[in-house]
Amino acid sequence: QHTGPEEADQPPSMSSHAGPPAPPSRNPCCLCWCCCCSCSWSEGRRPAWRASGESKLQPLPSCEACSTPSPEEVQSWAQSFDKLMHSPAGRSAFRAFLRTEYSEENMLFWLACEELKAEANQHVVDEKARLIYEDYVSILSPKEVSLDSRVREGINKKMQEPSAHTFDDAQLQIYTLMHRDSYPRFLSSPAYRALLLQGDSQSSHEA
pLDDT digits (tens, 9 = 90+) for 41-52: 333 333 333 333
Distance CA 136, CA 147 (A): 10
Return all residues near 81 (Cβ < 8 A) that are at least 6 apart: 178, 179, 183
Which domains are seen in the chain, by residue range?
71-201 (1.10.167.10)
Sequence letter at residue 86: H
Taking Cα atoms as reference points, which of 193, 192, 168 lies closest to residue 84?
192
- pLDDT (tens, 9 = 90+) of the chain, 207 residues, equals 444 444 444 444 433 344 444 444 444 333 333 333 333 333 333 333 333 333 334 344 444 445 688 999 999 999 999 999 999 999 999 999 999 999 999 999 999 999 999 999 999 999 999 999 999 999 999 999 999 999 999 999 999 999 999 999 999 999 999 999 999 999 999 999 999 998 666 655 555
Q: What is the dihedral sign for C-alpha 185, 58, 114, 86?
A: positive
Q: How far is CA 163 from CA 44, 46, 113, 123, 196, in A?
A: 24, 19, 11, 10, 41
- Name the 3-class secondary structure at 37: coil
Give the DSSP per-residue string, 186-201: HHTSHHHHHHHHHHHH
Is 191:93 a contact under the CB 8 Å cutoff?
Answer: yes
